[in-house]
Amino acid sequence: MTRHLTSDQILEVCYKTGVKVVTVFAFAIENFNRPQREVEGLMLLAKTKLSQLMQHGEVLDRYGARIKICGKRELIPKDVLEYVDRAVESTSKNTGAVLNICFPYGSREEMTHAVRTTVQDYLTAPPPKNSTFSQTRISQSIKSKKLARPDTLPSIDETPSRVEQSGHDGDGADDSVSSTASTLHLPDTPSRPSSSHTTRYPDPESITPETLTDHMYTSGDPPLDMFVRTSGVERLSDFMLWQCHQDTQLFFLKCMWPDFDLWHFLPVLIEWQWRQKQKERDENPRRGIKQR
């Protein structure tokens, strides 16, 4: 956890320039391995910063941003979890933007969580179709006495009928047509479900990278465009390893996170914009050529 969870100025610039999702690495799972007093101090700081977000969340309210906690909830102490839930609830109705707070978080743990929940989904049989001849419907009909209970065999009624031609008398050969109509009465008993019915589970071959993406903590967020790492260390440090892809721009700054302010962030935005334009020119080299 850092001295400032995130700067209101930085959030303001992000949301104002069209950035819809801001993600902050607040606390790593490995930080629980620090000395107990240090961990307790960081948890106390977490409560303070979450309380400030609830009391002075003008930027979040102005841009309709909601808070989302990404991480293992079961590792958060109960007293801190109360602040977490209140912060999330206070912005739950906002739909304009997102502030992801990774706490406590580890990217490898996130990917493990995504694989685990995907496996659980694929081991769960899909619900049976609610058809007319489903076992559930038959049972419900029997219980509600909607099904007939025949005690005798189906009956056959024979009804003789005679069609006489008009204008003829009955002398001589009989010109009428005689027929017998037979009606078979069957009880309203539904067909039995096929004994060959087997439970069908989702095909593992249908699992794609998008499947795992949908099970990440950041599910529903757009692709990661910009990754900013402070402290001068040029590594990802188990942060958003899955979300980083070939189009993610990485920025490693020498300043420490508590000192990271608007004047450090604006050059990053300008650099990102320039890289995007350069990428477009490389992909479309003739786009800027004027045809005569």
* Cross-strand partners of 69: 101
The answer as to CATH 3.40.50.720 being correct for domain 6-124+206-283 is: no
Does residue 288 have a pLDDT over 60?
A: no
Q: What pLDDT is recorded for position 164?
A: 47
> Of 87-91, 140-144, 287-291, which has the strongest mean pLDDT?
87-91
Average of per-residue pLDDT values in the chain: 81
Please, which contacts does 83-87 make with residues 24 or more away whose CB atoms are closer than 8 Å? Answer: 83/46, 83/47, 83/50, 83/51, 84/50, 86/50, 86/54, 87/50, 87/53, 87/54
Distance in angstroms (rounded) separating the CA atoms of residues 96 and 21: 10
pLDDT in tens, 233-274: 999 999 999 999 989 999 999 999 888 888 999 999 999 999
How many H helices and E strands in the chain? 8, 7
Does residue 69 have a pLDDT over 90?
A: yes
pLDDT in tens, 26-37: 999 999 999 999
**CA gyration radius for the chain?**
35
Closest CA to 230 of 262, 263, 253: 253
Between 47 and 283, whose confidence is greater?
A: 47
Between 174 and 230, whose confidence is greater?
A: 230
Q: What pLDDT is recorded for position 184?
A: 42
Burial 234-243 (b: 16+ CB within 10 A, else e): eeeebbbebb
Does residue 159 have a pLDDT over 80?
A: no
Q: What pLDDT is recorded for position 203?
A: 87
Q: What pLDDT is recorded for position 137?
A: 60
- The domain ranges of the chain are 6-124+206-283
Percent of the chain whose pLDDT exceeds 90: 57
Q: What pLDDT is recorded for position 230?
A: 93
Q: What pLDDT is recorded for position 163?
A: 44
Mean pLDDT (whole number) for 56-63: 90
Mean pLDDT (whole number) for 204-224: 95
Cβ atoms of residues 102 and 26 within 8 Å: yes
Q: What pLDDT is recorded for position 200?
A: 76
pLDDT in tens, 82-139: 999 999 999 999 999 999 999 999 999 999 999 999 999 999 867 666 555 556 566 6
